[in-house]
Amino acid sequence: MNRTSKKMKSVQPSNREHAIATAAQLFLQSGYAHTSMDDVMRESRVSKSNIYYHFKSKEELLLAVVEYWAYKYETALNELISSRGSSVEQRTMAFLQVLAEGFEARNGGGGCPFVSLYVQSPGQASEVRARIGRFFTELRPALEQLFRQGAEAGEFRSGIDAAEVSTLFLTTLEGALVLAETTSDASLIAQSGRSFFKMLR
């Protein structure tokens, strides 16, 4: 095996990662209750023994899926905050475009992965629900940091409170994701962003 082949092999996802990524899509497209472990095995082509080696139950897989989505969103948000080459509005609209593309790739399933999985999770899945709650709790100060950047750069009208704006943006975005899912119209995601920033100027 040459060096290039070795390098390519090293970046391939593990069976565990592949099973999680597959379940992350299936749970949103078909619903957690309507997706069996057999469905995940069939779609991921990861063996039954391998699946159950990593996940003792479907609920344990659900928690891993929530962590998967949290990592994807937190990584994207960190990039959004740290990238200073464009305005906050431009960066945020690019982020919303990524959300819209993900929504369309799932055929409109699970507008907001966290809300969808929270609603679908079994009542006894306290660890899953707690992790989703922690995601939203940690999201607000991160958004506050982003909007403070915009305020300090003079992008918004004077008197804007970054903490209040972050809460309003989060609720606006969640509403847009729900509307996009119920109407099968991904354009509402970007539209809500444009309207939101128009109010800030």
d(CA 85, CA 4): 34
Do 173 and 114 contact (CB within 8 A), yes or no? no
Closest to 23 in 3D by CA, of 60, 72, 52, 61: 61
Task: Tell me the one-letter amino acid at 90.
Answer: Q
Q: What is the mean pLDDT of residues 114-138?
A: 93
**Backbone phi, psi, residue 109, to 5°:** -85, 135
Length of the chain (residues): 201
Question: In this structure, is the dihedral angle defined by the CA atoms of residues 107, 111, 112 and 118, taken in order, positive or negative?
Answer: negative
Closest to 45 in 3D by CA, of 66, 21, 76: 21
What is the pLDDT, as a whole number, of residue 107? Answer: 77
Per-residue pLDDT of 57-71, as tens digits, reads 999 999 999 999 999
Full-model pTM: 0.85
What is the pLDDT, as a whole number, of residue 11? Answer: 59
3-state secondary structure of 16: helix
Per-residue pLDDT of 72-94, as tens digits, reads 999 988 888 888 889 999 999 99
What is the pLDDT, as a whole number, of residue 121? Answer: 92
Share of the chain above pLDDT 90, in %: 78
What is the pLDDT, as a whole number, of residue 10? Answer: 46
Structural domains present in the chain: 63-200 (1.10.357.10)
Do 63 and 127 contact (CB within 8 A), yes or no? yes
Do 108 and 184 contact (CB within 8 A), yes or no? yes
What is the pLDDT, as a whole number, of residue 109? Answer: 75
One DSSP character per residue, 102-140 reads HHHHTTT--SSHHHHHHHHS-TT-HHHHHHHHHHHHHHH
One DSSP character per residue, 90-112 reads HHHHHHHHHHHHHHHHTTT--SS
